[in-house]
Amino acid sequence: MIYLDYQATTPLAPEVEAAMAPWLGEKFANPHAPYTAGREAAATVEVARKQVMRALGKTSGRLAFTGSATEALNWALKGSVGREGRDEIVTIATEHAAVLDTVQFLGSTHKVHILPVDHEGIVDLDALRAAVGPRTALVAAMLVNNEIGVLQPVDEIASIAHEAGALMLCDAVQGLGRIAVPEQADLIAISAHKVHGPKAIGALWMADSVEPAPLIHGGGQELGLRSGTLSPALCAGFGAAASLIAERAPADHDHVESLWEMAHERMRDWTLNGSAAQRYHGNLNLRRDGLDAARLMSEVRGVAFSLGSACASGSGRPSHVLRALGLSDREARSSIRIGFGRYTTADELAEALDRIDTAAKAQ
């Protein structure tokens, strides 16, 4: 299989697998236990915490491990709304379901502003300024969009939030290690499996003095804020993946740039969805008039890429992100997402693109 779905998940790095192995075997102690084996596991968790903080470029604030970025985003949103009597949330129509479904849930008791984007996928900062006010608890904006790769102006968004006394939450899941996280963000959600780490571990970074109310109650393991026994194996894996980011970011960047140039050129008869200028280059979301993208997926066997047009549940609903750009249902259903990165070779990408292009032209 040629794997071209890096926005869905990334291959586990061999170094990560090696770092996790002992903690899945003989080193099974509970990291919250008081004896030596437990303390050894706890020390591993603390090393991992530092490694992840370093990958975020943070020397201040606190980082709590969570079960996923979805949990981190739920925690940040549900735990911040209502602070200091502020009961409104502002976010953007192209955010991930982890944000949009959470704010929809909160919408029954709080006021939620979901701002549109332009045809390139970028939010209008004047509209954002108008929506943010003295009642805004939090502004949530993603760094890199998971469907179209488009970058939001997160630094400006954080400044606008702060001018009104609101917090800024950044979903940096797709950006970690690739695009600088906004220095001014108060809360940052990340996920290990998007950066060659294991699945089912994420983290919420909180700036000093920012503390969302707990989402999960119990033994108070993570900083007294997020209960539940941590997995040293998952933490060690996330830590190893984060260290690799620090080591490999420049090489990964150059590799992705060269793949992007080749892929963009090879697929020049296709239309790029989203901004060409403001985007992460490991994502190519393309459409072709009249294409039946769902049929294309079944025709091109042995290549793992995804539909830009159907939500993950397979409900067949057109993507909310592509619809937010102003694409018709038909255009959205003629779109595909190709994602590549560290372990993608130029040869396999070229071969897969030729097969996709040939099958699309034969439809």
Identify which of residues 75 and 270 has a Cβ nearer to ligand PLP in the complex: 75
CB 18 within 8 A of CB 196: no
Beta bridge pairs of residue 170 = 141, 188
Using CA atoms, how far apart are residues 54 and 50, in angstroms rounded to an integer?
A: 6
Of 171, 186, 222, 252, the residue at the interface with ligand PLP (CB under 6 A) is: 171
Q: Is the dihedral of CA 348, 349, 350, 352 positive or negative?
A: positive
The region of 62-70, 157-165, 237-245, 283-291 touching ligand PLP under the rule CB under 6 A is: 62-70
Of 98, 154, 187, 204, the residue at the interface with ligand PLP (CB under 6 A) is: 98
Of 174, 283, 335, 344, the residue at the interface with ligand PLP (CB under 6 A) is: 174
Q: How many residues does the chain have?
A: 363
* Residue 69 binds ligand PLP (CB under 6 A): yes
Q: 170 catalytic, yes or no?
A: no
Half-sphere exposure of 58 (CA within 13 A, CB side): 26
Of 10, 44, 51, 70, the residue at the interface with ligand PLP (CB under 6 A) is: 70
Between residue 124 and residue 143, which ones bind ligand PLP under the rule CB under 6 A?
A: 142
* Residue 150 binds ligand PLP (CB under 6 A): no
Minimal distance, residue 8 CB to ligand PLP, in Å? 7
Largest Cα separation within the chain, whole Å, is: 66
* Residue 285 binds ligand PLP (CB under 6 A): no
Alpha-carbon dihedral angle through residues 140, 146, 179, 114, given to the nearest 10 degrees: -20
Single out the residue of 181, 234, 227, 202 nearest to residue 63, CA to CA. Answer: 202
Minimal distance, residue 184 CB to ligand PLP, in Å? 19
Beta bridge pairs of residue 204 = 64, 189
Minimal distance, residue 199 CB to ligand PLP, in Å? 7
* Residue 94 binds ligand PLP (CB under 6 A): no
The region of 17-25, 65-73, 111-119, 291-299 touching ligand PLP under the rule CB under 6 A is: 65-73
Minimal distance, residue 325 CB to ligand PLP, in Å? 16
Of 44, 80, 94, 146, the residue at the interface with ligand PLP (CB under 6 A) is: 146
The region of 102-110, 167-175, 298-306, 341-349 touching ligand PLP under the rule CB under 6 A is: 167-175
Using CA atoms, how far apart are residues 170 and 168, in angstroms rounded to an integer?
A: 6
Of 31, 79, 202, 214, the residue at the interface with ligand PLP (CB under 6 A) is: 202
Of residues 271, 311, 323, 357, which has the active-site annotation?
311
Minimal distance, residue 211 CB to ligand PLP, in Å? 21
Minimal distance, residue 195 CB to ligand PLP, in Å? 11
* Residues classed as catalytic: 311
Residue ranges in contact with ligand PLP by CB under 6 A: 68-70, 96, 98, 142, 146, 171, 173-174, 191, 202
